[in-house]
Homo-oligomer: A and B are copies of this chain.
Amino acid sequence: MHQHIRVTAEAVVLRYSSKEGMMVLLTKRTIPPHIFKWGLPGGFVHNDEPLEACVHRELKDETGLRANYLEQMSTWGNPDRDPRGRVLCVAHLALIRHSASKIVLGAGTKESKWYPVRELPVTAFDHAEIVAAAIDHLRVRLHTEPLAFEMLDEKFPVSELEKLYEWVYDRSVDRRNFQKKINGLGLLAARPEKLKHPLQGRPAQLYSFNREKFLELKESGAPVEIFS
């Protein structure tokens, strides 16, 4: 018996802004199957290529983007998921800052677009399911892992972090309690500057993520709960 299974590595690339919410990067397929439908960036893994390297390569080729954070999520292996035959998909979660998410047209560039996660177009294969799984995955990880900071700018107001959590957990959070909790952990470092030109209201203090402090807390053994 000879095994014939092909493998792709694909990524659910997410960006967030309080203005537009969570958005996912999709590329329009130019070949069958599912031609003209929208799919996740990714492609067939080279024989000697690590899975994450494949994702980075395909993402670069197709959209010119560089993920700020990348982790493996789950493998989709249903025998019927691809009409061409057995194709395994190793799905990844990729995060990118909104400010670094502009799609660049280039050599291997396909038509790519950011779509609101809750308003997807017609998608190829099981990719809509994979996007949903990525959000579930994020929901689990954001309780204890500092992944939110991979999507925010280096300097951000607390309200931006809060709104990101509100989007992911789909519930409103008390602004004042959120700020107290997050400051109590000491994970945010105040920057000297304040937010310039707010659309309305008092300019917000800008913070950056204190990764050293986070690692210190984690090493100390106490479980770090960023958000409950």
Contact = CB atoms under 8 A, between A and B. Distances in A.
Contact of A47 (B3, B46, B50, B74): B3
A163 to B, nearest CB: 20
A7 B47 contact: no
A166 to B, nearest CB: 15
> Chain copies in the assembly?
2
Among A4, A49, A75: residue with most chain B CB under 10 A: A75
A121 interface: no
A134 B140 CA distance: 17
A126 to B, nearest CB: 13
Interface in A33-64: 44-51
B78 A50 contact: yes
Nearest to A85: B47
A186 interface: no
A85 to B, nearest CB: 8
A12 interface: no
A49 B79 contact: yes
B6 A3 contact: yes
A94 interface: no
Nearest to A78: B50
A117 interface: no
Contacts of A45: 3, 5, 77
A199 interface: no
B48 A77 contact: no
Interface string A81-103: 00000101010000000000000
17 contacts: A1-B46, A3-B6, A3-B44, A3-B45, A3-B46, A3-B47, A4-B47, A5-B5, A5-B45, A5-B47, A47-B86, A48-B79, A48-B86, A49-B79, A50-B77, A75-B90, A77-B90
Given A3-B44, A47-B79, A75-B90, 12 more contacts: A1-B47, A3-B6, A5-B5, A5-B7, A45-B77, A48-B79, A48-B86, A50-B77, A51-B75, A72-B75, A88-B88, A88-B90
